[in-house]
Amino acid sequence: MFDFNLMTLVAGLPGLLLALVLHEYAHARVAVAMGDFTPRLTGRLTLNPIAHIDIIGLLMLLVAHFGWAKPVMVNPRNFKDMRKGNILVALAGPMANFVTAFLALFVMMLMLKFNYSMSIGVKTVLSMIVLYNINFGIFNLIPLPPLDGSKILLEFLPGKYAYKLLGLERYSFIILIVMMMTPILGGILIPLSRLILAIFEGILSVML
């Protein structure tokens, strides 16, 4: 999912942790707001990375260039509106990533506007926060179970198609490996990442 070397790994660690932790925390926060207290009872309503990091998922991120955090357990039957709750909880993670990327880009552009001299290290860290969060948000919106995009899509599909989509989950890991080993994943991430970055830069250029 991401291209790693030692320098980008060290500089990108804050962005990586922010992307993972804020993504899962947002799922938990919105689930509680919609009436399900399962995330609070299971200790997921926290910004503590230890509660969200999955060791295998983190190692896979380092080795295979894509990974995952611990999924937040929710009980949709507790939602005040099950359909709305499922959609909003699924959207919350990617949206948290996009907001984080936007804020990091805002800091960078603000520093440039006021001619604040950024060290290469600070600039790299902020750039990686932007990159990781945009990519992580896009990646999770892919409509493949158990990614967030599939949970959103399921709420709009007729029953038989929803059942077929759910059936793909057993093959998800293999599909993701194939996407990673071929140009498919890059063909999704790179154009969309550039588009979102261009939109953010356009908004901020008007604001600043």
Tell me which residues are annotated as active site: 24
- The contacts of residue 25 (CB under 8 Å, 6+ apart) are 44, 45, 46, 47, 52, 96
Report how far Cα 206 is from the mean position of its chain's Cα atoms: 26
Rounded CA gap, 60 and 41, in Å? 28
Helix axes 120-140, 82-113, angle to 10 degrees: 160
Distance between CA atoms of residues 197 and 189, nearest Å: 12
**Exposed/middle/buried for 33, CB within 10 Å: 0-12, 13-18, 19+?**
middle
CA dihedral (132, 133, 134, 140) in degrees, to 10, reads 100
State how far the Cα of 95 lies from the Cα of 74, in Å rounded to an integer: 18
Measure Cα distances from 15 to 63, 89, 124, 129 in Å. 17, 22, 10, 4
